[in-house]
Amino acid sequence: MRNNKFNLIHFLNRESIAGLVFSLPFIIGFFMFLLVPMGISLYYSFCDYNILSPPVFAGLKNYIKMFQDETFYKTIGVTLYFALVSVPLRLVFALIVALILFKTTKATGLYRAAYYLPSIIGGSVAVSILWKRMFAIDGVINKLLGAMGLPSEFSWLGDTRTAIWTLIILAVWQFGSSMLIFLSSLKQIPSTLYEASTVDGAGKVKQFFHITLPLLTPTIFFNLVMQMINGFLAFTQCYIITQGKPMNSTLFYTVYMYQQSFEYSNTGYGAALAWVMLGIVGLMTLLIFGTKKFWVYEGGV
Amino acid sequence: MAGRIIYHVIVCGIGLIMIYPLLWMVMSSLKDTKTIFTTANQLIPEQITFQNYINGWRGFGKVTFGTFFMNSLFISIIATIGTVISSALVAYGMARFKFKGRKFLFVSMLATMMLPAQVLMIPQYLWYQKLGWVGSYLPLIVPYYFAVQGFFVYLIMNFINGLPVELDEAAKIDGCSYYRIFTKIIMPLIAPAMITGGIFSFMWRWDDFLSALLYVNESMRYPVSLALKLFSDPGSSSDYGAMFAMASLSVLPAVLIFIFLQKYLVEGISTSGLKG
């Protein structure tokens, strides 16, 4: 009995140790590349620091400066606008196209591929420089409008009303991966549900709102959370296509943070901006989670 | 019948709009660089020329795009190997073992999924600067050997959770150590998940622009993403033909992966997206 117990403890010990050993890369990585950098930057956010000279403790100066910085408010507005418009639009598109493609025909694979391709390469620099040229005054958008006899001299990237929309369109264009997620969720809805409701006399529209949509809400929720976070943190597109112009109307928070830290050498201020961003993203995520119980269906099928 | 035709017309139409920008980019790269914008509304070039590819490949200064592509390949492959191996190890540890702090680690891992690189941009820069890594490839490679991207751990974990525990247990009874179980039993079985992860990792590393922008400062060592940006810098010669040619080449790996390995991509997106 005693021997048995000893073996059991020994065995448990071994398992717990082996588990730790396998998890070791993450434990080290989490510490070295996440906690330590965040700790350092937290300290620097309370300092006057420009990378070249050593940091000087300055208390809340950076944070106070932020509240007086008009550009800071502007970038939050721009970024929120971008995320709040582009993410829901992208999800709606993804859902509509997923519903259309759910009906399988011989060409479905091909269509799915065409819709998915932009998501694969959409984040690349290549697409960003392409976008910049497409919306240029002599770009393809204006030329196509001209060919249709419409006004074709518009400066899409130079107007404060439209510049942000070029970035939104670029984001919505990449709805493909959400579409795939919706497609695989749609496949998991048992067809018996539809059959039963048809017997009960429900039409297609009713079926969509009472079966399909509720059962998709967990997927929509997950996508919403992840994409809002990513939407809030977009960088490459803005940095390459508009650089915040015109008049900061497209200046994303991340790009502003980059400018402050590396172009204007206000690294301490940049570190403070990073921490405030973390707070905003966390708050936003909590907010979305807070709405979960009102619209996400969590019962089984 | 009429309904079916309308369906296909609509779906094809949207599909065309979706890929039109990419078609335009590739077609423009085959036009004479002077005519790209004067003929922007014609998709098909009147005369196909590869001169843009020749001009573009010359690159900037004395550095050709051959160097940029080699740099990108090097970074992407080395970082991807690290991501896949370390994520598989950690996924196995978290999926199959009970140990103190496992729950905390799991939550931390999920947190890294929610915490994209941009938040860490400045904190990590300051830290790498302290370590003396700025200006080298180390920040672009070393972190990936420590499973810092929760997505991959999560992806492989889901896969391991789908494998019967009896396999591990049988091997354990036969006297197999956990480490042998991992290399001899688990690794071969999770190969599909590792391939899926590897593909995503490769494409993300290939596209990575922000860390290259922050840490690579010699043009000799630029990856393609950073080199492409030089085309759109103000004051550059603005040879748009060459720019489109190199941009087209730079998305080629992703497009090839897309064409030949689509199965893995779709699987990765569906499984990781679903079980959130």
Range of the domain at B25: 1-49
Strands annotated E in chain A: 47-48, 56-57
Do B27 and B97 have their domain in common?
no
Kindly state the helix (H) or strand (E) to which residue B130 belongs, with its residue range.
helix B117-131
Q: Which residues contact A155 (CB under 8 A, 6 or more apart)?
A: A137
Report how far residue B75's alpha carbon sits from residue B121's, in angstroms, rounded to the nearest whole number: 19
Q: How many angstroms from the chain centroid is the CA of residue A90?
A: 11
Residue A230 touches partner B, C-beta closer than 8 Å: yes
Report how far residue A163's alpha carbon sits from residue B110's, in angstroms, rounded to the nearest whole number: 35
Do B144 and B229 have their domain in common?
yes
Do B74 and B201 have their domain in common?
yes
Contact B185, B171 (CB under 8 A): yes
A-chain CB neighbours of B135 within 8 Å are: none
Checking if the pLDDT of B274 tops 80, the result is: no
Kindly state the helix (H) or strand (E) to which residue A97 belongs, with its residue range.
helix A70-102
> Domain A64-295's class?
mainly alpha
Closest by Cα among A86, A83, A80, A45 to A66? A45
Q: Is the ipTM of this complex over 0.95?
A: no
Among the partner residues A44, A140, A173, nearest to B126 by beta-carbon distance? A44
% helix, strand, coil for chain A, step of 5: 75, 0, 25
Do B190 and B249 have their domain in common?
yes
> Residues 139-158, chain B: which have Cβ within 8 Å of A?
143, 145-148, 153
Asked if the Cβ–Cβ distance from A274 to B116 is below 8 Å, we say no
The pTM score is: 0.88
Do B145 and B22 have their domain in common?
no
Mean residue pLDDT of chain A comes to 85
Among the partner residues A25, A140, A180, nearest to B90 by beta-carbon distance? A25
Note the pLDDT tens digit of each residue in B180-227. Answer: 888 888 999 999 889 989 998 999 999 999 889 999 988 899 999 999
Q: Which residues contact B240 (CB under 8 A, 6 or more apart)?
A: A133, B28, B33, B36, B37
Report how far residue A165's alpha carbon sits from residue A131's, in angstroms, rounded to the nearest whole number: 12
Do B102 and B130 have their domain in common?
yes
Note the pLDDT tens digit of each residue in A77-125. Answer: 999 999 999 999 999 999 999 988 887 777 777 888 888 889 888 888 9
Do B13 and B58 have their domain in common?
no
Q: How many domains does chain B divide into? A: 2
Go through A14-53 and write b for each residue having 16 or more CB atoms within 10 A of its CB, e for each that does not: ebbebbbbbbbbbbebbebbbebbbebbeebbbbbbbbee
Report how far residue A78's alpha carbon sits from residue A256's, in angstroms, rounded to the nearest whole number: 11
Do B43 and B71 have their domain in common?
no
Residue B74 inside a domain? The answer is yes
CB contacts < 8 A, A to B, total: 278
> Residues 160-219, chain B: which have Cβ within 8 Å of A?
178-179, 182, 203, 206-207, 209-210, 213-214
How many CA atoms lie within 13 Å of B189's alpha carbon, on the beta-carbon side?
18
User: Where are the domains positioned within chain A?
Assistant: 4-44, 64-295
Do B9 and B130 have their domain in common?
no
Residue B275 inside a domain? The answer is no
Do B43 and B6 have their domain in common?
yes
Do B44 and B67 have their domain in common?
no
Mean residue pLDDT of chain B comes to 87
Do B68 and B141 have their domain in common?
yes
B-chain CB neighbours of A136 within 8 Å are: 37
